[in-house]
A = this chain, B = another copy of it.
């Protein structure tokens, strides 16, 4: 059963491919090395702004990274909820409805 890579794993791989040090990338993000280390190992999560900057720095697909970031956030909200799946579907419905009426 092949698991897909986590965001952190991708970030680390790409950083190393480019031969960049944690220190260097962290400086570009204006945070301490420790945080970036933790982000790459999945111990902390990056903010949306950090994701965007990382996509630039590492030349990754920004949209894909953000979608992954947001979907993780969503799943976190409902991770222990029996009704999570129903809630997701309800959210999609409401979203459709709003788009129809606001745009």
Contact = CB atoms under 8 A, between A and B. Distances in A.
Interface stretch (A8-16, A19-27, A34-42, A76-84): A76-84
A77 B86 contact: no
A1 B97 CA distance: 11
Interface of A: 1, 63, 66-68, 70-71, 73-75, 77-78, 81, 83-92, 94-95, 99, 101
What is the count of identical protomers in the complex?
A: 2
Contacts of A87: 66-67, 70-71, 73-74
Nearest to A81: B70
A42 to B, nearest CB: 15
A83 B95 contact: no
